Amino acid sequence: MATTSQAYLEGISVKETKALISDLCRQFYHLGWVSGTGGSITIKVHDDSIPKSQQLIVMSPSGVQKERMTEEDMYVLSSDGSVLSEPLAKPWPHKPPKCSDCGPLFLKAYEMRNAGAVIHSHGMESCLVTMINPSSKEFRITHMEMIKGIQGHGYYDELVVPIIENTAHERELTESLAEAIKAYPKTTAVLVRNHGIYIWGDSWISAKTQAECYHYLFDAAIKLHQLGLDWSTPSHGPIHSPNGVQGSHRNAEVSAKEGLNDGIESSRRYIVLDVEGVTTPISFVTDVLFPYARNSVGKHLELTYDTAETQNDIKLLCAQIVLVRSSTGMRKERSLLRIEDEVPLKMMEMSGASMGGGSERVDNVSSPCARVYCRSVSS
């Protein structure tokens, strides 16, 4: 039976594919991938008697509530993109039917990758991960379990996803998508900056599985970045700036290579991370941040002690600890930092230290390689 015949177009294979797209779009809506009528999906009508390159294509419409679509809302296209069947118009407030604006891009994935299904997601993760470094042309990540869900990749592999620039109209992305597919023969996805992602597989199951893994990895990368950790390296250790300072709380010199690996510095200069007690309980500071600082300060100083920034921090810390005498003659400590426990600052060569210019000296200091401690002082 010819695939263009009315009997074939109304046959069980086409109907099942239409129903499958409706069902998947409802799931994708609740994942945030196709909200606001955005995003789309297309699946080829599987038929063992027909080569995949010649199989019919079922495509969702454009500008509709994706979670409310039915079989009757779908378009059926030939393998070359010609419309063979289209939905009937619905009464107001529905818009006139229109095939997906993603159509030309879907066809490129079918043509260049012999795909069986293509998903276009507007998931927040896929948008934000392209904005961490506005100059990067790739997203890179490695040593994450979910990489194994991406076709042709294993845990130890580096996953590389090309990023193309967004345009005002979807169809204008067609050529840049095709160039990215050609330039990255191993990729099964292309990110669109500030927009979303296109993902394909040899079947709808493959495309869906990979889409879930990609979104998981993007979300993981964003969270690692917020923690100051580098998702693009095997150890996922602290992000290092060119001057050797660790973490995401450093100032303007944020290396674009951190996470996206293209060596161009970010244009951002300041980031407000949190006001204490707003996004996390205040106890987070004492229960998590203080122990982390206590355990990490030694290593941090060993790595960065000779940098100008760390030297300035040490001078600031010493300047902030001021001993004054109250009107009753009792000495009290006024400090911008509350240092309640002995915190090792640095193994340094020195014979002694005096804080605040008073008669009080910091104990536990010897030479050489003495460990200096800041202590709460009361007497």
Question: What are the residue numbers of the active site?
Answer: 145
**Using CA atoms, how far apart are residues 115 and 299, in angstroms rounded to an integer?**
50
Give backbone dihedrals phi and psi of 331, rounded to 5 degrees, phi first: -85, 135
Q: Which of 306, 299, 308, 307 is nearest to 344 (CA)?
A: 299
> From edge to edge, which strands make up the β-sheet containing 57-59?
83-85, 75-77, 57-59, 40-44, 117-121, 196-201, 189-192, 158-164, 138-142
The conformation of residue 96, written as its DSSP 8-state character, comes to P
Tell me: is residue 213 an annotated ligand-binding position.
no
Give backbone dihedrals phi and psi of 94, rounded to 5 degrees, phi first: -70, 145
Helices (H), 241-336: 257-260, 283-284, 290-304, 308-320
- Is the peptide bond prior to 97 cis by the omega test (within 30 degrees of 0)? no
**Using CA atoms, how far apart are residues 347 and 300, in angstroms rounded to an integer?**
12
Q: Which residue has the tokens 């790595």?
A: 303
Tell me: is residue 215 an annotated ligand-binding position.
no
Give the residue numbers of the binding site for substrate. Answer: 102
Which residues make up each annotated binding site for Zn(2+)?
Answer: 120, 122, 195
Annotated binding site: 102, 120, 122, 195
